[in-house]
Amino acid sequence: MSDPLRIIHGRFGRAVLVRLDHSMVLHAHRECHVVFKIGGADILFGVGTKEYPVTAQSALMINAWEPHYYHYRETEAKTILLAFYLNPQWLKEVDRRFAGSTHPKFFERPVEVLSPRLARGRDDVLDALAQHEPPNVHDMESLIASIFSEILTLSPPRTVLQLAGTRGELEYDARIRKIVERMLGDYDLLSSPEDMASSAGLSRAQFFRLFKKSTGLPPTLFLSMLKMEAGLRKVAQRDISLQDIAFDLGFDTAGNFTRFFVGMQGFAPSKYRKMLEVVEDDL
């Protein structure tokens, strides 16, 4: 199982330093995701239908809502990764250029070769995470904003108008939109795809086809995404037991929740909670 070395939650989102030696199932996030290799073996990370190299000379960019996975190969040495999961509202507040970061086509390509400035930004964050005390929230936000800005300089994203023009590619069905908006608003995590299909007045086959066509995700992956979001928030609340979290998310046992969590994060929720630090603005 993978080992989390440092986990920071803040208004910016999440920063995770992890020694990776466990596969991760196909999953997605509503945040855009940036990954750097810090040490160990070069690896291949699956984004969509292709695998892309993660090396010390590159950054991997994964769009919000974009399915991705990692298949660990037994011959590989452990790899240390630094991963950012960036809050889209925070990004928008930092710079209007980042306003499209919630779109599944924001990054036009998943891999970018590091510039000297991007490598320095990565190393500065690593230096902050290597300290014993929690990182200063303002310093951390400034470093992450600088990294993201440099990525967009190297690989300019599509403009808001261009992103608006791609909405037609997904052919958003009004019935699916209504279901998605309700699920995102209510976090009704106990609904099944069959419940969602019935609510939309569609057969299961019709619903699955239209949901994938509208969102880019099958409904099962969408539900898993929402459950993981809720699970991460609850794991960060140390007064809630893992057993209660499991039941709240619709799992029969804490063990089933742990398997679900490991499948997406690479390590157990108990390890995540143990390593988690929350940095907050005192103002």
Q: What pLDDT sits at residue 133?
A: 84
- Cα–Cα dist 141/196, whole Å: 38
Q: What pLDDT sits at residue 283?
A: 45
- Cα–Cα dist 266/18, whole Å: 9
Q: Is 132's pLDDT higher than 90?
A: no
Task: Write out the residue limits of the CATH 2.60.120.10 domain(s) in the chain.
Answer: 3-164
Task: Say which residue, 60 or 108, is predicted with more confidence.
Answer: 60
State pLDDT tens for residues 222-246. Answer: 999 999 999 999 999 999 999 999 9
- Cα–Cα dist 253/246, whole Å: 6
- Cα–Cα dist 169/24, whole Å: 28
CB of 139 closer than 8 Å to CB of 128:
yes
CB of 188 closer than 8 Å to CB of 248:
no
Say what percent of the chain tops pLDDT 90. Answer: 73
- How distant, in Å, are the alpha carbons of 13, 92, 98, 273 from that of 89? 10, 5, 9, 24
168-278 CATH, one of 3.40.50.300, 1.20.1600.10, 1.10.10.60, 3.30.1330.200: 1.10.10.60
- How distant, in Å, are the alpha carbons of 79, 81, 126 from that of 9? 22, 17, 15
Task: Write out the residue limits of the CATH 1.10.10.60 domain(s) in the chain.
Answer: 168-278
Q: Is 204's pLDDT higher than 80?
A: yes
CB neighbour class for 78 (10 Å; exposed up to 12, middle 13-18, buried from 19): middle
CB of 227 closer than 8 Å to CB of 187:
no
Backbone angles phi, psi at 162, to 5 degrees: -65, -40
- Beta-sheet strands, E only, within 71-164: 79-86, 111-113
CB of 263 closer than 8 Å to CB of 25:
yes
The chain-wide mean pLDDT, for the chain, equals: 91
Helix (H, G, I), strand (E, B) or coil at 251: coil
Amino acid (one-letter) located at 248: D
Question: Domain spanning 3-164 has what CATH number?
Answer: 2.60.120.10
State pLDDT tens for residues 19-52. Answer: 999 999 999 999 999 999 999 999 999 999 999 9
User: Measuring CA to CA, which residue among 232, 240, 38, 204 is closest to residue 224?
Assistant: 232
Q: What pLDDT sits at residue 154?
A: 87
Q: What pLDDT sits at residue 81?
A: 98
Helix (H, G, I), strand (E, B) or coil at 68: strand
Helix (H, G, I), strand (E, B) or coil at 120: helix
Q: What is the mean pLDDT of residues 129-141?
A: 90
Stretch among 123-127, 141-145, 157-161, 217-221 having the lowest mean pLDDT = 157-161
Stretch among 8-17, 36-45, 187-196 having the lowest mean pLDDT = 187-196
Helix (H, G, I), strand (E, B) or coil at 167: helix
Contacts of 67 (CB under 8 A, 6+ apart): 26, 27, 28, 47, 48, 216, 217, 221
- pTM comes to 0.91
State pLDDT tens for residues 147-190. Answer: 999 998 888 776 655 655 555 455 678 899 999 998 888 777 88
State pLDDT tens for residues 81-103. Answer: 999 999 999 999 998 888 889 88
